[in-house]
A and B are shown apart, each in its own frame.
Chain A
C-alpha cells in the first residue's frame, strides 16, 4: 500500500530560543566587576504588534501559492471524532476517482488505521501522527508543507486533508487550503453549530452524515440546519449517509465543480 508514515519530532521548547541564550538564569549577574550598589533598574515597554500565528499564516500562504502553481485543489475536512470523516472520504474518493486524480493527508494523534482504509481507494496517502507534538489537536501549515512533499503535485488534482477529530482548534489554523468542509452526524447534538461557531464560520460547506439512522433517533435535522444557517447564513448543507450513499450526488457534484473551477479555470 502506498502509505508514507511521517514521524515529526517535537519542537522542544529550547529550540525556539535561537535569538539569544535565554536559558541562563534570569537573575544571573554580569561577570564583570561592576560595583553592585550603583545599578539602576530600567523598566520599559516594547511595542511588538504582531499576530501570534504569523509564522503559520506565512507558511499557509506559501502552501497556497505552491498548490495554485501546481493546479491542486486542496480540501480541508474537519469534524468531531466519530462523525464519519474517513467513511465519507472513502466513498467520496470512489466517486471522484480516477477522473479526478486525488491524494490524501490524514492526521491523527496515533495509529495509521484511517490511512490504511483510505489507501484501498488507490489514492496516495500520507499519515501524520501528531503524538510526537505532545498529541497536537490540529494540522498546522508546516506539517502540510512537509507532508505534501511526499506527493508528485503535478500529478494531483485534488488533495484532501483529513484533519484531526476536533471542532475547536483546526478552525484557527490556516493550512493553505481552497475550501473547508465541516462534518456533523445526526448522533451528535443539534446545537453543535452554535456551540462551535468559529468552526462553522470558517467553513465553506457542511455535511450532515448518518441520515440512515434518523428513523431510530429523536433528531430534529431542521433545527440543526437552522443552527448552521444562524452561524453562517447561506452555507451549503449536504445531508448524506456514508453507509447507504443517500444524498451523495449533490455533494460529489458540488466538489467536482469546485475542483474543475480551479484546475480548468477557462472551461465554463
Chain B
C-alpha cells in the first residue's frame, strides 16, 4: 500500500518537474518577495503584500491545476486502475502528488529571498509562518475542490472549468460584495455575529481575516474590525478559524475520494 503510494507520488513529482511550470510558479513568488524586500525593506510590509497576492493567486492556480490534472490524466488513471492498485491509494497519491509540489514551490519561492535579504526582522517570524501555513492550506483546499470538479464533470470539461472559475470568482469577489450588501441593507440591526458566521464559511475570507488579525490591521475595518478582533483575536476564534479551514480541507477531498471510488472509467 505505502509502496504503491510512494511510487505514484514519486512519479507525480517527476512529471511536474519535467513540465517545469511548477518551477515558474515558485519563481513568481520568489520575484514577488524579492521585489518587496527591495522596495519595502523587509518586515511586516513584505508579508502583508505577499499574503495579498497569495490570497488571490493560490486558490485560482490550485483550482485550475487540480481540475486540469484530472482532465489531462485520464489515460494515466485508466492505466493505473487496470493494475493491482487500490482506488483510495491512487486518489491520495495523485492528490498529494499535485498539492505537495505546489506547496513546496510556494514556500521555497516566498522564503528563499530571506537568504540574501538578511533573514527575518524582529517579530515577523510568526507572520511569515502564518502566511506560509495559510498558503499551504489554501493550496491543498483548492486542489481538492479542483479534483472534485474534474471528477464530477469528467466528461464535460467546459462545465467543469466554468464552475471552477465561478467558484473562485464567488469566493474571491462576489462573496464579500454580498456581505457588503447585507451590511448596507440591514445596517440598523446588530449583524456582527451573523457576519462572523458567514465569513467563516468562505476559506479565502477566513485566511484573509487570520492575516488581518496577525498583522494587527483590523483597525482599518472600523467597528466591524473591532468586533472581528473581539472574536478572531481570541484563541477561541483562532481555533474556530483553523477548524473551519480544516473542514474545507477535508470535505472537498473526501467527497472527491468518494466520487473517485464509485466512478466508471
Q: Do they bind each other?
A: no
